[in-house]
Chain A
């Protein structure tokens, strides 16, 4: 386990260099911001591994290459396994002071990539795994993933006479990763960029596997104005449907503990994917939120 660096990362000392530039991400893309900020923290000695998904689709279209550091597209299930190979290869070749960093979406992490991620954590691979969570398969046209929240309309969780969007709860990836005894895990949101930066910096110093699950709204898939990405990402935290936390040395901690929540209804109904929800659906979501927070307070702070 690395020591937490005392120098606090801030806007003032964050690198001016851009490592993800000229990409074809949609206007207002939260995922590309998460990736851009992460590489500023990890720097030029990074090997970025990006599976099939939004960020690979927008970043490497021959001859337009948007990464300015080393980067490679992995297979869809293969983010963590390719990261393991990159790290092992670099180690075996005697390369020092590098970061092997993965950027996978929610489907690439919680669905098809979970097996490889689990194995890499089990081996305590010295890798950093960032899950940019835009809550559906966006690149293929907004289909439901295991991280799509209950009630969200996607192309494969439609709204009709029988169903009102996704019927499953968002898979608790952060807790699943933590249950492996991972060296470091955190949740973050691009609505709280300084909290995210601090977690990135910590992850860069961990001698083992780090996992950061960053909440990255998608204006196209969620149905809100492109200018609202940061606001939506912040509101998700402020209404209690997302939370900012860390796991290290076997302990969970909150890095942001709201004393009261803003309106869940306002957060949800501001996005077209939730606009079909009826009062009972909204109350159900609030009930689940309250249950989660009571669990957090009971289990993390006992």
Chain B
């Protein structure tokens, strides 16, 4: 195990520290609250040469990702960061990066989407883009954010995957909260993360045509390959976490984190920082003899459907708590969890969808306690509700 330093960092600063350790060649970014301190720290690192990279102050988020794709297309390792409206402004390039299999790594500060304008955290920005072909991970705290950034390059650039990856941090709650963070050593990260190698690039010795057109006879095959690539990440994520744990001593639990689910009757499924609020409630209720549990989804794509089925197999009622809604239906996380359970042969638990935290609305310990009470109360026919 490599020696590590400790530092008191915000989530954004932890991301910047992780990016520096991963040694990207090109960083292109455009400022948006609450992402800004990531790209400010990176600009300073490039200025003082503690990070040797090309830093492009581009004119939009669209250009930020477009520039990263261009750099990736000559074989460079790239990073960008954005949030909310900026992520949506990138939307065309998100599909472009995944379709072209350019393993760009991006940090997204989860933030509400206008209108009404709001700079605080919810997850409607990234969850509305689940279908764009990116691997999507959701961090719970600054340490996990840093570790995910380093792991992201190993996952995204893996030859079986070769797919861009988005690390999501709840706006302000993670991006701007300071924690004591362990910083892996540079030599450790260098050992963990080999230089980016790919045949999917322009090469002056072997000229290539990239990002081409494929008509109806061929197009779907490329899409099948893309689907296979994202599914391949299921295994690559586990292998990567294992290697990471061996080198740095921090072990992660794969695509979900499951707490007390083995015998739990009532389980909350959520993602991101709110899991940190649920955990102490689960522990307190457990100490009172309640059979409750928590599933924290760490990856929304590829979706951990097997892990979810296994974790929820014995539950009587499950509440999916999310900072998102697909207007006119239900939360997108709920749709995904429900779909995973529908593939199960065992009896379905009762499923409820709790929509909360939109535009930064606080989700308190008392709220979580009420949600567990709701799960235990008789079915009132309502499935989706705002908290």
B96 at the interface (CB under 8 A from A): yes
B231 at the binding interface (Cβ < 8 Å): no
Q: Chain A residues with Cβ under 8 A from B76's Cβ? A: 88-90, 92-93
A291 at the interface (CB under 8 A from B): no
Interface residues of B in 154-208 (CB under 8 A from A): 202-204, 207-208
Q: Are A49 and B70 in contact (CB under 8 A)?
A: yes
16 contacts between A and B (CB under 8 A): A49-B70, A59-B209, A62-B214, A71-B210, A73-B213, A74-B66, A80-B63, A81-B62, A89-B26, A89-B54, A92-B25, A93-B74, A116-B59, A122-B59, A123-B56, A123-B57
Say yes or no: B63 contacts A70, CB within 8 Å: no
CA distance A27 to B351 in the complex (A): 62
Given contacts A88-B28, A115-B59, 6 further A-B contacts (CB under 8 A): A71-B207, A75-B66, A88-B56, A89-B25, A92-B53, A123-B56
Picked from B63, B207, B210, the residue with its CB within 8 Å of the CB of A78 is: B63
Q: Taking CB as reference atom, which chain B residue is nearest A88?
A: B54
Q: A118 interface residue, CB < 8 Å from B?
A: yes
Instruction: Flag whether B75 is at the interface (Cβ < 8 A).
Output: yes
Tell me which residues across on chain A come within 8 A of B67, comparing CB atoms: 81-82, 84-85, 88
**B207 touching A82 by the CB < 8 A rule?**
no
Q: Give the most central of B28, B53, B76, B93: most A CB within 10 Å.
A: B76
Interface residue tally for chain B (C-beta within 8 Å): 41
A-B residue pairs, 10 tightest by C-beta: A85-B70, A89-B71, A119-B59, A85-B67, A89-B76, A81-B63, A92-B25, A78-B66, A70-B202, A82-B70
Q: Does B69 contact A (CB under 8 A)?
A: yes
Taking a contact as CB atoms under 8 Å apart, the answer to whether B66 and A116 are in contact is yes
- With the chains together, A143 CA to B66 CA distance in Å? 26
Interface residues of A in 112-127 (CB under 8 A from B): 115-116, 118-119, 122-123
Mark each residue of chain B from 50 to 94: 1 if its CB lies under 8 Å from any CB of chain A, else 0.
Answer: 000110111110111011111111111010000000000000110
Q: In whole angstroms, how far apart are the Cα atoms of A124 and B215 in the complex?
A: 37
- A59, A61, A82, A87: residue with the most chain B Cβ atoms closer than 10 Å: A82
Q: Distance (Å) between the CB of B66 and the closest chain A CB?
A: 4
Q: Which B residues are in CB contact (< 8 Å) with A254?
A: none
**Most chain B CB within a 10 A radius of its CB, from A62, A91, A98:** A62
Chain B residues lying within 8 Å of A98, measured Cβ to Cβ, are 204
The answer to whether A89 and B74 have CB atoms under 8 Å apart is: yes
Is A83 an interface residue when CB atoms closer than 8 A count as contact? yes
Cα distance, A190 to B261, chains bound together (Å): 72
Q: Which of B26, B207, B209, B214 contacts A85 (CB 8 A)?
A: B26
List the B side residues contacting A77 at CB < 8 Å: 62, 66
Given the known inter-chain contacts A75-B62, A89-B74, please indicate yes or no for A61 contacting B213, CB distance below 8 A: yes
Query: Which of A45, A56, A62, A119 makes the CB contact (< 8 A) with B63?
Result: A119
Contact B56 A93 (CB under 8 A): no
Q: Determine whether the beta carbon of A83 is less than 8 Å from that of B209.
A: no
B298 → chain A closest CB, angstroms? 30
Asked if A72 lies at the interface with its beta carbon under 8 angstroms from chain B, I say yes
CA of A131 to CA of B305 in the docked complex: distance in angstroms? 49
User: Contact: A116 with B60, CB < 8 Å?
Assistant: yes
Residues of B within 8 A of A (CB): 25-26, 28, 53-54, 56-60, 62-64, 66-76, 78, 92-93, 96, 202-204, 207-215, 218
Q: How many residues on chain A are close to B (CB under 8 Å)? A: 45
A44 at the binding interface (Cβ < 8 Å):
yes
A220 within 8 A of B: no
Q: How far is the CB of A118 from chain B (nearest CB, A)?
A: 7
Q: Is the CB of B56 within 8 A of A116?
A: no
Closest-CB distance, A182 to chain B (whole angstroms): 15
Nearest CB on B from A274, distance (A): 33
Q: Give the residues in chain B near A296, CB-CB below 8 Å.
A: none
Cβ–Cβ < 8 Å partners of A233 in chain B: none
* B70 touching A95, Cβ below 8 Å: no
- Chain B residues positioned under 8 Å from A88 (CB to CB): 25-26, 28, 54, 56, 67, 70-71, 76
| A residues less than 8 Å from B66 (CB atoms) | 74-75, 77-78, 81-82, 85, 116
- Give the distance to chain B from A96, nearest Cβ to Cβ, in Å: 10
Q: Are A74 and B211 in touch, CB under 8 angstroms?
A: yes
Contact B63 A93 (CB under 8 A): no
A85 touches B62 (CB 8 A): no
- A74 contacts across to B, CB distance below 8 A: 66, 69-70, 211
Q: Is A69 interfacial (CB-CB < 8 Å)?
A: yes
- A1 on interface, CB distance cutoff 8 Å: no
Q: Look across to chain A and name the residue whose beta carbon is closest to the beta carbon of B208.
A: A70
* A194 beta carbon closer than 8 Å to chain B: no
Rounded to whole angstroms, the CA-CA distance of A92 and B210 in the bound complex is: 20
Complex Cα spacing A116 to B58, Å: 8
CB <8 Å contact, A75 and B96: yes
A72, B73: Cα distance in complex, Å: 8
Q: Does A57 contact B (CB under 8 A)?
A: yes
Partner of B58, one of A56, A81, A87: A81
Please measure, in the bound complex, the distance between the C-alpha atom of A49 and the C-alpha atom of B25, giving whole angstroms: 20
- Hey, which chain A residues are within 8 Å of B215, CB to CB? 61-62
Complexed CA–CA distance, A110 and B92 (Å): 20
Residues of B within 8 A of A92 (CB): 25-26, 53-54, 71, 76
A72–B209 Cα distance when bound, in Å, is 6
Give complex CA distance A93, B53 in Å: 10
Asked whether any CB of chain B lies closer than 8 Å to the CB of A65, the reply is yes
Q: Is A67 interfacial (CB-CB < 8 Å)?
A: yes
Q: Which residue of B lies closest to A79 (CB)?
A: B66
Report yes or no: B69 in contact with A85, Cβ–Cβ below 8 A: yes
Question: With A75-B92, A82-B70, A86-B70 given, is the CB distance from A93 to B25 under 8 Å?
Answer: yes
Name A92's closest neighbour in chain B (CB-CB): B25
Query: CA separation between A284 and B41, bound complex, in Å?
Result: 56
Asked if A242 CB lies within 8 Å of chain B CBs, one says: no
C-alpha spacing A75/B99, complex, angstroms? 12
Q: Could you tell me the distance in whole angstroms from the C-beta of A56 to the nearest C-beta in chain B? A: 7
- Asked if A267 CB lies within 8 Å of chain B CBs, one says no
* Across-interface contacts of B214 in A (CB, < 8 A): 61-62
Given A47-B74, A73-B211, A95-B74, A78–B62 Cβ distance below 8 Å?
yes
